[in-house]
């Protein structure tokens, strides 16, 4: 007889109160490694819930905006300390609801900790600038100001880190927030909201509304009182949000898909490159926008690299991410696993050579979860869908190349431009690739994953729309520049017209 699972009934956070959805409807959130494990029951919300949350955020905005930035920083510092205190508990919750192994969910919480402290540090900076005026007895400066109510639509693969990337930057700048978490991972965002509550964030500054993209996301991003929309997810949905926001000229940040390449040159440390490829392709079960889903390998080291890659991949232990010794967890849902399986079938039909994995894992320890074997296609070409479309699962393709120039050309031959990498001992090749890769992030002798919060994160082409998250650049999404002129000459002075000999 199965052990009874305690069911936790969660609610939306609106104006500092935890409330059920107006409809009274709810949905279940289950562990993707063990569908018998019910993580919680969450409100299935709609337009009325969104309107209440946006109204609460709008009402809280003047007070939070007028709170001195160093005081706002104290709340974020406190949140960072609470996240540190509860890191293990939060990581275990995240593994239960998202599936990735415990070491990775600890890293997810650590990103939230790092971002809290980074943003809090800006509470005594939020630097603008001063500059000389072209006129006498006139002072010129520029300052950052908050924008207003921010709407976040966040994904399931980094269910605490990404809300923290967006949220900490928005909060330190003086904005208020309404967040719609992914329906596959609402518990992590609820946990983050409770951390912010404990840290002393005033009611209404951070609001959470759970539900589907159509019922919650659509009315949220189009709400007239929302001034900033920040979305992380697929390019298809991002394009639709961009169209929806265009008529009202909302400030919009989009972080979308990727099809990232590691370029392995003939002078590379092959063992090191294999380490990076395995981590990049199968970390988070390949469910990262920065995943190393294309491996462009020089023909001179191709066979050596491929053989070692296959051996390393076959040795990966797949299972419940809470269990010790597990290297890779399940896909986040049955739907996601089925999507991966369809791409594997496409790869076979296209003629790519399946050298590892390729199967859905079922029965035994896999019977209650959504598991797929780590999969490698070799001898692929860039005309194949598996080599140019985002799969978002544990599948990577190995493509032979004959030169640095060909490798760079193939790396750039996709609509996306998030992350890229080269393995080489030649500084000229490294710097050439660094310059020529059409990506927002680039690594030398490292995988395509592993961004740090104090550097800007984001991509080009169909990956993003020009904004960045994290780092100081993350403030740009959530602040407006105001130029200020103070004339103390006692007379009317006309810029570009008055001159002084």
pLDDT of 141 strictly over 90? yes
User: Residue 487 forms beta bridges with which residues?
Assistant: 138
Contacts of 335 (CB under 8 A, 6+ apart): none
pLDDT of 3 strictly over 90? no
Q: What tokens appear for 429 in the block?
A: 């090749």
Q: How confident is the model over 405-444, as pLDDT tens digits? A: 999 999 999 999 999 999 999 999 999 999 999 999 999 9
Q: What tokens appear for 493 in the block?
A: 């002075």
Nearest-CA neighbor of 442 among 261, 270, 275, 293? Answer: 261
CB 65 within 8 A of CB 171: no
Nearest-CA neighbor of 106 among 121, 133, 87, 93? Answer: 87
Q: What tokens appear for 458 in the block?
A: 């984001």
- Marked catalytic residue, from 255, 331, 388, 469: 255
Q: Which residue has the tokens 């976040």?
A: 152
289 is catalytic: yes
In the chain, what are the domains? 47-256+464-483 (3.40.605.10), 261-444 (3.40.309.10)
- Marked catalytic residue, from 150, 245, 289, 388: 289
- Predicted confidence at residue 501, as pLDDT, reads 61
Q: What tokens appear for 136 in the block?
A: 């006498």
Q: How confident is the model at residue 498 (pLDDT cuts 50, 70, 90)?
A: confident
22: three-class secondary structure by DSSP:
coil
Nearest-CA neighbor of 370 among 260, 314, 287, 309? Answer: 287
- Predicted confidence at residue 8, as pLDDT, reads 67
Q: What is the rounded distance in angstroms from the CA atom of residue 45 to the CA atom of residue 329?
A: 30
pTM for the model: 0.94
Residue 318: DSSP 8-state:
B
> Radius of gyration of the chain from Cα atoms?
24
* 3-state helix vs strand vs coil in the chain, percent to 5: 40, 25, 35
Q: What percent of the chain has pLDDT over 70?
A: 98
Mean pLDDT of 307-321: 98
359 is catalytic: no
Q: How confident is the model over 161-197, as pLDDT tens digits? A: 999 999 999 999 999 999 999 999 999 999 999 999 9
β-strand pairing of 419-423 with 375-378? unpaired
CB 211 within 8 A of CB 49: yes
């Amino acid at each position: 007889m199965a052990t009874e699972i305690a069911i936790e009934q969660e609610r939306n956070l609106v104006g500092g109160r935890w409330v059920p959805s107006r409809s009274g409807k709810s949905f279940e959130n289950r562990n993707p490694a063990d569908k018998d494990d019910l993580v919680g029951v969450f409100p299935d919300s709609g337009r009325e819930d969104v309107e209440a949350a946006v109204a609460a955020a709008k009402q809280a905005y003047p007070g939070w905006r007028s709170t001195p930035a160093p005081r706002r920083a104290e709340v974020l510092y406190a949140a960072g300390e609470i996240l540190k205190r509860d890191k293990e508990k939060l990581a275990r919750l995240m593994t239960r609801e998202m599936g990735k192994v415990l070491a990775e969910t600890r890293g997810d919480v650590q990103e939230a900790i790092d971002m809290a402290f980074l943003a809090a540090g800006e509470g005594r900076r939020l630097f603008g600038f001063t500059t000389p005026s072209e006129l006498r007895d006139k002072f010129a400066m520029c300052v950052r100001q908050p924008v207003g109510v921010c709407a976040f639509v966040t994904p399931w693969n980094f269910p605490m880190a990404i809300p923290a990337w967006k949220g900490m930057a928005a909060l330190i700048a003086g904005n208020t927030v309404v967040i719609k978490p992914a329906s596959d991972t609402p518990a992590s965002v609820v946990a983050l909201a409770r951390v912010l509550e404990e840290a002393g964030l005033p009611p209404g500054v951070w609001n959470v509304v759970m539900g589907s993209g159509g019922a919650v996301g659509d009315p949220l991003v189009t709400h007239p009182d929302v001034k900033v929309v920040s979305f992380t997810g697929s390019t298809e949905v991002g394009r639709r949000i961009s169209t929806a926001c265009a008529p009202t000229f909302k400030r919009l940040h989009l972080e979308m898909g990727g099809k990232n390449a590691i370029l392995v040159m003939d002078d590379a440390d092959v063992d090191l490159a294999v380490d990076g490829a395995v981590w990049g392709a199968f970390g988070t079960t390949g469910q990262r926008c920065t995943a190393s889903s294309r491996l462009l390998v020089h023909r001179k080291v191709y066979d050596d690299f491929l053989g070692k890659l296959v051996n390393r991949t076959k040795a990966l232990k797949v299972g419940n991410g809470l269990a010790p010794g597990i290297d890779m967890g399940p896909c986040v849902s049955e739907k996601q696993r089925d999507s991966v399986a369809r791409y594997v079938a496409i790869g076979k039909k296209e003629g790519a050579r399946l050298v590892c994995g390729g199967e859905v894992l079922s029965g035994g320890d896999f019977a209650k979860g959504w598991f797929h074997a780590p999969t490698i296609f070799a001898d692929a070409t860039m005309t194949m869908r598996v080599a140019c479309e985002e799969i978002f699962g544990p599948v990577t393709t190995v493509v032979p190349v004959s030169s640095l120039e060909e490798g760079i050309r193939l790396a750039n031959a996709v609509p996306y431009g998030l992350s890229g990498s080269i393995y080489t001992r030649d500084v000229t090749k490294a710097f050439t690739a660094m310059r020529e890769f059409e990506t927002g992030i680039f690594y030398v002798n490292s995988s395509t994953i592993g961004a740090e919060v104090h550097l800007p994160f984001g991509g080009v082409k169909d990956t993003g729309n020009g904004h960045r998250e994290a780092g100081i650049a993350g403030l740009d999404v959530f602040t407006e520049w105001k130029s200020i002129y103070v004339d103390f000459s006692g007379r009317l002075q006309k810029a570009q017209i008055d001159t002084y000999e």
